[in-house]
Amino acid sequence: MAIMSETFDYARYDRIRPIRWTGDALELLDQRHLPFSTTYLASRSSDEVAAAIRALVVRGAPAIGIAAAWGVVLAARAIDAASGDEALARMQPALDRLNAARPTAVNLAWALARMRAALATAGADWREVLEREARAIETEDLAANHAMGTLGAALIAAGSGVLTHCNTGSLATAGFGTALGVIRAGVAQGRIARVFAGETRPWNQGARLTVWELQQDGIDATLIADSAAAHLMKTGQVQWVIVGADRICANGDTANKIGTYQLAIAAKHHGVGFMVVAPSSTVDMATAHGDEIEIEERDSAELLSFRDERTVAEGVRAWNPVFDVTPHELITAIVTERGVVKQPDAASMAALLRR
């Protein structure tokens, strides 16, 4: 199969926006109700933003970082200060509450650190500085996704099949997506002939969000049960597994949605490529390896019920870790907007971040 043009119209894929800043509120596309209802929930305080992040109204590592940045802008509305320094001291408790909303995705702490740094050097115009910084975080994320789409797609041979996990698209970012951005680019270029998405139990990000997003673009995708992945690989239908990341350690170990690790093991066994796509804001050089990452555990109700209706016998216990860590040895390539690292390790990750 021939590869079509390497460039394409990104705007064609930029229809969904999970985050909207109105000037006095943050509107979040409520992902708890997708795909059947597209309603936006307005937050008017940083604590409302923190609650929305915790409840998965907004989710996906880059998106929660962007939402938290706007949460800081809202926190600023609640205080008075003559300088950035003074504002920072007054807002610290609100920033801490935002930071505690979810522990695994480093983009949240990264975005808050950026907002803090902007404040620290701001003068009397600190409110405008904050707003500009939040806007920059959002704009840069979209640009990074476009760059990664091109870099990642270039690794894929024409006519390939791919499997993705969770949701890494416009819904999880400022737009276009990370792993899903590579898939969008790969499909547009004629490199990807078949797209499969795992349903991503228990919250069903794949079933509820990813296949819906692809449907909006007219990209044909097939949903599989998470447990069908190894069989899919064995039957030769996919040449790449393409996933996002919540935190990439200094040695390349990668935390992502629960189930990613077993996909990487199955991919290795079947000679299928394993690609991680994430902006450099997801790389955490302060975390040496995966064992140091805090893995979020959520309410077992997510596993024991469906749409608030219990599906499991009363009295049954469940364990619900929502992320896992894929060791770097199982990763074929990490794609960031700064470039691609093949067979990542501590040395190649350090070199990437120096670019």
The token pair that represents 160 in the structure block: 């390939």
Strand 26-29 relative to strand 19-21: parallel, antiparallel, unpaired? antiparallel
CB 166 → ligand MRU: shortest distance, Å? 4
Task: Identify which of 205, 65, 87 has the alpha carbon closest to the alpha carbon of residue 144.
Answer: 65
| Region near ligand MRU per CB under 6 A, out of 121-129, 171-179, 225-233, 345-353 | 171-179
Kindly state the smallest distance separating residue 320's Cβ from ligand MRU, in Å.
Answer: 11
Contacts of 189 (CB under 8 A, 6+ apart): 3, 4, 5, 6, 8, 153
Q: Indicate whether 332 belongs to the interface with ligand MRU (CB under 6 A).
A: no
Question: Running DSSP on this structure, what letter comes out for residue 121?
Answer: T
Other CB atoms within 10 A of residue 103 CB: 17
Q: Is 61 in the site for ligand MRU (CB under 6 A)?
A: yes
Q: Does 20 show up as a binding residue in the annotation?
A: no
Q: Among residues 16 and 322, whose Cβ is nearest to ligand MRU?
A: 322
**Is residue 257 annotated as involved in ligand binding?**
yes
Was 61 annotated as part of a binding site? yes
Q: How far is CA 158 from CA 61, 155, 192, 195, 269, in A?
A: 30, 10, 6, 13, 22
Q: Is 244 in the site for ligand MRU (CB under 6 A)?
A: yes
Active-site amino acid positions = 246
Of 261-320, binders to ligand MRU (CB under 6 A) are none
Identify the residue among 87, 115, 142, 172 touching ligand MRU (CB under 6 A).
Answer: 172
105 binding ligand MRU? (CB under 6 A): yes
**By CB under 6 A, residue 52 contacts ligand MRU:** no
In the complex, what is the shortest distance from the CB of residue 78 to ligand MRU, in angstroms, rounded to a whole number? 27
Element housing 197 (H / E) = strand 192-198
The answer on whether 206 is annotated among ligand-binding residues is: no
| Residue 157 CB, nearest approach to ligand MRU (Å) | 24
Report helix, strand or coil for 349: helix
Cβ–Cβ under 8 Å, residues 88 and 115: no
Separation of alpha carbons 27 and 20, rounded Å:
5
Binding annotation for substrate: 59-61, 102, 205, 256-257
Residues that bind ligand MRU (CB under 6 A): 59-62, 105, 166, 168, 172-173, 178, 205, 244-246, 256-257, 322
